[in-house]
Amino acid sequence: MATRRDARERAVQFLYHWDLNPGKDLTEALARFWQMHGAPAGMRAHAETLARGALDHREALDDCIREYAENWDVARMGAVDRNIMRLAVYEMLHCDDVPPVVSVNEAVDLAKYFCSRESGRFVNGVLDRIRKTLARPARTPVGTDPA
């Protein structure tokens, strides 16, 4: 059974690929990606939603990351770290069904998995600064009663 974590992992893999090899046709690039990385339909749909959302908002996401990553230019960050943070910030800003702390925790786990403990610390530091600025509950999805 595929999970949201699996979808996030695939979304990060695609974002990384697109970041290093930008194409002209996103739909075609996604089709090629799925040919190489088979996935159940539900996970695939969720991963595509995340990847497309992060790409649609990429400039604003990079501006947000740049603002809270002290002394770091987004272009000089590791490509994996950069794309993990893009995905997490996209979720925090545009996916009301995901509590911000979940986005942060998932991003830290992905950074540790794909990179290193140091990447996990870096990603956590930047994303936690962003999370603290949000005008929504950190631990509950929007529209649910925290009580």
Higher pLDDT, 113 or 144: 113
pLDDT value, residue 135: 84
Distance CA 52, CA 27 (A): 10
The model carries a pTM of 0.91
Residue identified by tokens 């603290």 is 132
List the domains of the chain with CATH numbers: 4-131 (1.10.940.10)
pLDDT at residue 118 tops 50? yes
pLDDT value, residue 86: 98
Distance CA 106, CA 112 (A): 10
CB 99 within 8 A of CB 127: no
The pLDDT tens digits of the residues spanning 56-111 come to 999 999 999 999 998 899 999 999 999 999 999 999 999 999 999 999 999 999 99
Neighbours of 109 (CB within 10 A): 16
For residue 97, give the amino acid letter: D
pLDDT value, residue 109: 96
pLDDT at residue 1 tops 50? no
pLDDT at residue 117 tops 90? no
